A and B are shown apart, each in its own frame.
Chain A
């Protein structure tokens, strides 16, 4: 009897339903479990390039604002105000303001009678009413202590005690203020309790460097509201020679980059390295950097992979490549750059630069995702790449640096890397941000 095809097929189907199948194996489950763990780690690795730069930005921002806060705190504490009783009949009211490298000091001598008068008056003396922040506007030049006297009674210059802490400057400058001391009572320039006289006296040589010659004391009655002309600095600014080799620095850098691939779907580069630079000319620095980078990227274009001799799998049929992806592309980079620091009178020094960078990419795995557009079947194929060092790529940079401490610099910079060779590496085209911390010897 000839069997029909349908019957033939049904018997096979029926028989196959009786096949028991392979029993559960703990070994197989362990293998699958490990594979799942690895898959999870790969996904987590993707988070690292996203989270770390955010943390870096957060830390950098905190550092910046902490620095600003510390500077402000320093300025606040530097502006001290104190009252010293030298003799029973004399009160010295002193205000000192440190503004950058200039010291402003305002001293008021009061006799108890005057002090009582002040207390009884609703308005205070101009000295005490003058905010410390306004004092720098009265300064004449760096290295000069600005002292103001008020309410010094005529004919009583001896009231200024020799034991006053600023005696060194005071004796040398305030005493030879003949205009003040020799002015008869009732003269228009005679200080009164409501008036303030400002003396410019040389800075304490222990505070200021280099020492400057004592300037001639000047007496100004601030009640006339006449602006004080600024005096020329005692010393001229001297420029360093153009060719200056020295001032080496060494430090660390962190990087967040975005790969610039054709048809890129996503990607990020995270890295860190060490760098050093040295001044080679006025405002020019030559630097070198070695860094380790790891990247993750996803793209639809395979041309760049073919240029890197990475074999593209071909599942055939109606399968087309949806994308390729790598979660972990490790690489070492070597860069040489030259920067020009723009001289500005600011706490931040901007700079621009250019350089070259070569990359050695270590072996990494690539996953290709294919899809059949007819039946939506997906094909997942893995491939790997070998270590390779590409031709150097050109790099443009711009950034700014600020001095955290005497020898410590913090910098932020942006960069654009572009490989010009025929076979640029996967990391040879990117842009991003770097932060650096440098120690200057």
Chain B
């Protein structure tokens, strides 16, 4: 990461189109941006494309960065918007996948706490796009229902419904993992 002075220099260089400054910014924030994109996509290649598209927008529209947000917050917003744009293109219609058993699964907290981060990321990426985006925006990014509804161009009710179904789906998958671990323990 860059310190504040370095970051200001780099942003100034990027505004002038300086390729060296752009490279420094890209190096500094690539891994951080890729984590964001990994959560909103279903495979590594899609995440890579989102990162590339996001940085392209950052470099071409950096003049719009006014300083009212921290640069990290602005960059994160750009990346999320890029991912949502992609989600909108890939899945124009919300998933209507219904689960055969809609009942609250009981998950032991230890199962979740002990789970590997990559495994949880894997589970989220297995969600249908609408659920995945809603869950990420609400649970991880901390947006409100109305904000998410605006971002995804859906109603608040759909957001709540998709969020509930996303959690339900994740719990189902964790329950299966819990059962597998139990069998393995016997």
Contact = CB atoms under 8 A, between A and B. Distances in A.
Contacts of A29: 23, 26-27
Contacts of A31: 52
Nearest to B142: A13
B67 to A, nearest CB: 18
Interface in B130-181: 135, 138-140, 147, 150-154, 167, 170-171
Contacts of A32: 26, 52, 55-56
Given A16-B39, A36-B56, A22 B153 contact: no
Contact of B113 (A11, A377, A378, A380): A11
Contacts of A375: 147, 150-151
Contacts, number: 128
A194 interface: no
A16 B140 contact: yes
Q: B-side binding surface: helix, strand, loop or mixed?
A: helix
Contacts of A227: none
B120 A15 contact: yes
Nearest to A7: B109
A379 interface: yes
A21 B32 contact: yes
B88 interface: yes
Given A16-B117, A19-B117, A29-B23, A316 B139 contact: no
B80 to A, nearest CB: 10
B24 to A, nearest CB: 11
Contacts of B108: 1
A100 interface: no
A36 B56 CA distance: 7
B2 interface: no
Contacts of B81: 377-378
Most chain A CB neighbours (cut-off 10 Å) among B17, B23, B85: B85
A57 to B, nearest CB: 30
Given A8-B112, A379-B85, A15 B117 contact: yes
B112 A3 contact: yes
B22 A36 contact: yes
A23 B84 CA distance: 23
Nearest to B163: A5
A69 to B, nearest CB: 44
Interface string A8-30: 11111101101111111100110
B51 A22 contact: yes
Given A7-B109, A29-B23, A377-B81, A23 B31 contact: yes
Interface in B31-72: 31-35, 38-39, 44, 47-48, 51-52, 55-56, 59-60
Contacts of B52: 28, 31-32, 35
B72 to A, nearest CB: 14
Contacts of A379: 85, 88-89
B98 interface: no
Contacts of B121: 15-16, 19
Interface string A285-323: 000000000000000000000000000000111110000
Contacts of B120: 11-12, 15-16
Contacts of B59: 36
Nearest to B111: A3
Interface string B11-37: 000000101001100110011111100
- Give the interface size bracket for A toward B: 35 or more
A2 B106 contact: yes
A18 B31 CA distance: 12
Contact of B139 (A12, A315, A374): A12
A21 B31 contact: yes
B49 to A, nearest CB: 10
A33 interface: yes
A170 interface: no
Contact of B167 (A8, A15, A22, A40): A8
A413 B183 CA distance: 88
Contacts of A18: 117
A317 B152 CA distance: 8
Given A12-B140, A13-B140, A32-B55, A316 B153 contact: yes
Nearest to B104: A2
B121 to A, nearest CB: 6
6 contacts: A23-B30, A24-B31, A32-B56, A36-B19, A319-B153, A377-B85
Interface of B: 17, 19, 22-23, 26-27, 30-35, 38-39, 44, 47-48, 51-52, 55-56, 59-60, 81, 84-85, 88-89, 92, 104, 106-109, 112-113, 115, 117-118, 120-121, 124, 135, 138-140, 147, 150-154, 167, 170-171
Instruction: List the 8 closest A-B pairs by CB distance, nearest first.
Output: A317-B153, A9-B139, A21-B31, A22-B34, A21-B35, A15-B117, A375-B150, A21-B34
